[in-house]
Structure 1
Amino acid sequence: MKKFLATSLVASVLVVPTVVGAEGLQSGKLTKASSEPAASIVKEYVEGKGDFSVQDVQKDGSSHIVRLQQEVDGVPVFGSVVVGNVAKDGTLKAIVNDAVKVKGKPGLDKKIAISEKKALKLYKKSIKATEFEVAPTSELVVYPVKDDAVYAYKITSTVLAGDEPSRWTYFIDANSGKVINKYDQLAHAKPVTTITGTTTVGSGTTVLGTSATFNTTKNGSYYYLQDSTRGKGISTYDAKNRTSLPGSLWADADNVLNATYDRAAVSAQVNAVKTYDFYKNTYGRNSYDNAGAALNSTVHYSSRYNNAFWDGSKMVYGDGDGSTFTYLSGALDVVAHELTHAVTEYTAGLVYQNESGAINEAVSDIMGTVAEYSVGSNFDWLVGEDIYTPGVSGDALRSMSNPAAYGDPDHYSKRYTGTADNGGVHTNSGIVNKAAYLLGNGGTHYGVTVPGVGVPKLGAIYYRALNVYLTPTSNFSYLRAAVVQSAKDLYGSSSAEAAAAAKSFDAVGVY
């Protein structure tokens, strides 16, 4: 169980989207000044690459960040996104162009022979599930594959029955009915309920044995673990060692939660609040969707469950078996790691396979570590050390400073190339983690010396890369370009930070 903290643990890699003709990240003064809307400027720049719809336009200081979705006759091309950074004077100063050449591909000439209803039947048969937490939903997409492209149904559901919760996402060829690709990524669970009442301050003991205070909501004769002062609320629920979610909103009679059973709930609530505050106060991000989405947690999930996961609407924590793990809500870096998966879902949308999946995992490790530095009390470059093997001191799930200590590669030449673990999403994250450690802390690796810029700047650079430049199918080379460009945006094109960002990837063999 050393490879945990995932949106998915089940590995199944068939065909990965192939980005044909993508140009990566370009920067400089790419266009002349213009008075046209930012979205029009970006669209004109990629004209001839295909048709695009505007996904999002965000104000970014004096610039605008434009995100376009490529389409074919109104059908989205999976993983094909264009991101443009348009300066105040209307010049395009940076662009990530993942547009692919799909028009005219022979696969798109084939008629759609499989109905959505039939595709859903094939999906249910494949995953062998009859009970769903969230029923399967389907979307028709254009799926690039090798030198071709086909119409496919992207189908996803949430299943809690069985040994392990899952969210299987399948791509089913709309012509042949064959499964093109599949990966497991937990999804949305049913909505949770909230209460109204008076905000009060409760106290309690965390999993680590420390004292804490936190906002609660008083309703009638009970105090509930619901903080209504942040976003749309931060709440904790009790699954009572069952697998039905979300469970019951945590209630207490005296607003003092010091019992052993209370500790998992206290930690979940306190660490969720700290993570919310970290993103809000450091980056101005209002919850994972940047619109104040409620942060809900469920503790005491299942029996002796050695894992934690983000299911699309809430965090879910097992109690651990007492040997491999203790209560998993006890570690701030674990909570921030999982909630960063949610941030990733609402920003770059990194596909949870191969290099994009390893970036997904590494960014969660990085932001979990930065959160521990910013709002925690026991900063280090380890991941999950507070809750892993409680009877053994000094060990952890992963190390950012020395990934090899836990069997993970610290250089691209040592990367895992198999299909297990969704193509090594946890294993190969060690390469990015090492680069991030070198950027934040400094050091010499494989003969390359990297001057450290400090943990806060490390976080700012990677958060910007995630929020602005990364796209669903970004690989390690794209990550390098995104991180370096983010450092240039924040600190200047010729800054020491930008130079250090480039050196950090030199040190791990990513170019």
Structure 2
Amino acid sequence: MKKVLSTSLIAGVLLVPQLVGAAELKSGTLTKPSNEAPTTIVKEYAKAKGEFKTLESKRDKVGQVVKLQQTVDGVPVFGGIVVGVVDNDGQLKTVVDDTKQLKGLHKSIKLNEQKAVARYKELVGHKGAYELEPAAELVVYPNGEEAVYAYEVTGTILDADEPSRWTYFIDAASGKVLNKYNQLAHAKPTNGVTGTTYTGTGIDVLGQSQTFKTTKSGSYYYLQDSTRGKGIYTYDAKNRTTLPGSLWADVDNVLNTTYDRAAVSAHVNATKTYDFFKNTYGRNSYDNNGAALNSTVHYSRSYNNAFWDGSKMVYGDGDGQTFTYLSGALDVVAHELSHAVTEYTAGLIYQNESGAINEAVSDIFGTVAEYSVGSNFDWLVGEDIYTPGIAGDGLRSMSNPAANGDPDHYSVRYTGTQDNGGVHINSGIVNKAAYLLASGGSHYGVSVQGIGVMEMGDIYYRALTVYLTPTSNFSSLRQAVVQSAKDLHGATSTQAVAAAKSFDAVGIN
């Protein structure tokens, strides 16, 4: 059985169609100098491809980054994105064109939003309450060689045996399911307390002493850190499945019992992850707007997994053999929170190659976060909480994916329908490329000069937040990473050459 930690806990045989058309990246001097606004420059460049609305316009160290959404009469085209980078002279220097073909599109809509939601509930078959009620959005969906109007419908279920967040694409004319995949997102808002900030102490899952911020309200100290963003909160599910549970409360601000350890680790590792993204990339929480980081520990009984549902991390205690308390690993916490960063930036679809990139990016930033704290660094994922009785193993190996049965080269990639089209399996190919870029080495006869872990992370962060789009494939990732290396270090730099070589080594052209 495949060992996974992911945004999606249920991976079965799904519909996994490929969206037609791969993103095209162009760089150079693409337009003449202009005094127009950057959004106008990018829209003018893209206008031959159709209508667009602005999703984002932000300045970074390279220029003004503009992200556009392709539309038809105001309806968004699923996955249809254009990204442009405009320099200080008003010249378009780089553009990613991921617009979609709309062949055969005609407006035939027989379902309204309410009927689409009813259809979704029928298909999902859940009889209980939803943590987040299903919501439908009308989109233009590229369906093979054609395009149709469809409803994108998503709901969150947390009171079942396995939590889930299914997204369905339902044909707006026929009610037919065009595609579906499972990911978790958006749960209850934070219910914090008002009080005074103190410093608590405790022992974590690994037996290490920790200090952390708490909030005193009345007679209790709560695991609420109000000094970072909109807060870091840790809850206790008390071995039940009702979420988020109770905000963790303690009478003396000393958390040294065995039961406390999972909470200490969750609170401290969420803090470290927040600080990692803030101090390394200037990112204020996963949404870059200070969103609260919520964690729930002691979920269910002997639960051998952890998941991110869009507003909180949820950790099982493990069964003591396959896993111990899952909040104990910094790279696991950072992995899951990186899924949230991906959702708020590139929005990589959680299936096929885009899903494998999504998973690999989380492994990469989990590993870079672990490196950044300066202790216990390795290229294994989840080694601190996986098989506590066996030393030296992990969920996945980035340096040697084949050790865990994962492919390390595109020629041996998984092409089946299990695991959402191989999102965890094929992530090994990207993980190997990232490892080679950071550490160097030879693979399949290609030698790569390592540039260091933190520089590798900088390049992948820029690729994720600037150039990747929802339907990016492995070839798109190569273009994004190489262009990011050029942006940060120069077109002929050691870093840019190494980035290209790292993808050569794993067979991604």
Residue 480 of structure 1 is matched in structure 2 by 478
C-alpha separation in 2, matches of 1:2 and 1:127: 24
Matched, 1:11 2:12: yes
From 229, 233, 243, give the equivalent of 1:235: 233
From 209, 212, 225, give the equivalent of 2:207: 209
Q: Which secondary structure state, in structure 2, belongs to the residue aligned with residue 421 of structure 1?
A: helix
Q: Which secondary structure state, in structure 2, belongs to the residue aligned with residue 434 of structure 1?
A: helix
- Answer whether contact 2:399 2:431 (CA < 8 A) is retained: yes
Instruction: Provide closer, same or farther for how the CA distance between residues 264 and 345 of structure 1 changes in structure 2, counting only shifts above 3 A.
Output: same
Matched, 1:219 2:217: yes
Compute the displacement of 1:13 (Å): 3.2
Residue 149 of structure 2 is matched in structure 1 by 151
Matched, 1:99 2:99: yes
* Equivalent runs, 1:58-457 vs 2, <5 Å: 58-61=58-61, 63-102=63-102, 105-106=103-104, 108-130=105-127, 131-457=129-455
Letter in 2 for 1:444: S
Paired residues in the alignment total: 507
C-alpha separation in 2, matches of 1:39 and 1:457: 30
Residue 57 of structure 1 is matched in structure 2 by 57
Compute the displacement of 1:421 (Å): 0.4
Instruction: Provide closer, same or farther for how the CA distance between residues 205 and 176 of structure 1 changes in structure 2, counting only shifts above 3 A.
Output: same
C-alpha separation in 1, matches of 2:379 and 2:23: 34
Compute the displacement of 1:19 (Å): 3.3
Q: Which secondary structure state, in structure 1, belongs to the residue aligned with residue 334 of structure 2?
A: helix
C-alpha separation in 1, matches of 2:421 and 2:18: 13
C-alpha separation in 1, matches of 2:198 and 2:160: 39
Residue 44 of structure 1 is matched in structure 2 by 44
C-alpha separation in 1, matches of 2:273 and 2:406: 27
From 486, 495, 500, give the equivalent of 1:497: 495
Compute the displacement of 1:62 (Å): 5.5
Compute the displacement of 1:16 (Å): 2.8
C-alpha separation in 2, matches of 1:2 and 1:371: 24
- Answer whether contact 2:20 2:145 (CA < 8 A) is retained: no
Of stretches 185-194 and 407-416 in structure 1, the one that deviates more from structure 2 is 185-194
C-alpha separation in 2, matches of 1:147 and 1:62: 37
Compute the displacement of 1:271 (Å): 0.3
Q: TM-score, normalised by structure 1?
A: 0.98
From 415, 439, 457, give the equivalent of 1:459: 457
Q: Which secondary structure state, in structure 2, belongs to the residue aligned with residue 109 of structure 1?
A: coil
- Answer whether contact 1:206 1:330 (CA < 8 A) is retained: yes
C-alpha separation in 2, matches of 1:64 and 1:401: 35
Post-superposition CA distance 1:416-449 (Å, at most 9, x none): 0000000000000000000000000000000000
Letter in 2 for 1:50: G
Letter in 2 for 1:277: D
C-alpha separation in 1, matches of 2:245 and 2:209: 25
Post-superposition CA distance 1:241-291 (Å, at most 9, x none): 111111000000000000000000000000000000000001100000000
- Answer whether contact 2:330 2:370 (CA < 8 A) is retained: yes
C-alpha separation in 1, matches of 2:18 and 2:186: 24
Post-superposition CA distance 1:350-387 (Å, at most 9, x none): 00000000000000000000000002520000000000
Letter in 2 for 1:95: V
C-alpha separation in 2, matches of 1:141 and 1:316: 31
Q: TM-score, normalised by structure 2?
A: 0.98
Letter in 1 for 2:116: A
- Answer whether contact 1:12 1:183 (CA < 8 A) is retained: no
Post-superposition CA distance 1:155-191 (Å, at most 9, x none): 0000112210000000000011100000001111111
Post-superposition CA distance 1:293-344 (Å, at most 9, x none): 0001000011111000000101010000111000000000000000000000
C-alpha separation in 2, matches of 1:62 and 1:146: 36
- Answer whether contact 1:49 1:101 (CA < 8 A) is retained: no
C-alpha separation in 2, matches of 1:186 and 1:439: 31
Compute the displacement of 1:112 (Å): 0.6
**Sequence identity (%):** 72
- Answer whether contact 1:19 1:98 (CA < 8 A) is retained: no
Compute the displacement of 1:101 (Å): 2.6
- Answer whether contact 1:324 1:390 (CA < 8 A) is retained: yes
* Equivalent runs, 1:13-32 vs 2, <5 Å: 13-20=14-21, 22-32=22-32
Structure 2 stretches lacking a partner, 5+ long: none
- Answer whether contact 2:386 2:393 (CA < 8 A) is retained: yes
- Answer whether contact 1:233 1:294 (CA < 8 A) is retained: yes
Compute the displacement of 1:5 (Å): 1.3
Q: Which secondary structure state, in structure 1, belongs to the residue aligned with residue 384 of structure 2?
A: coil
Letter in 1 for 2:171: D
Structure 1 stretches lacking a partner, 5+ long: none
C-alpha separation in 2, matches of 1:60 and 1:374: 22
- Answer whether contact 1:77 1:141 (CA < 8 A) is retained: yes
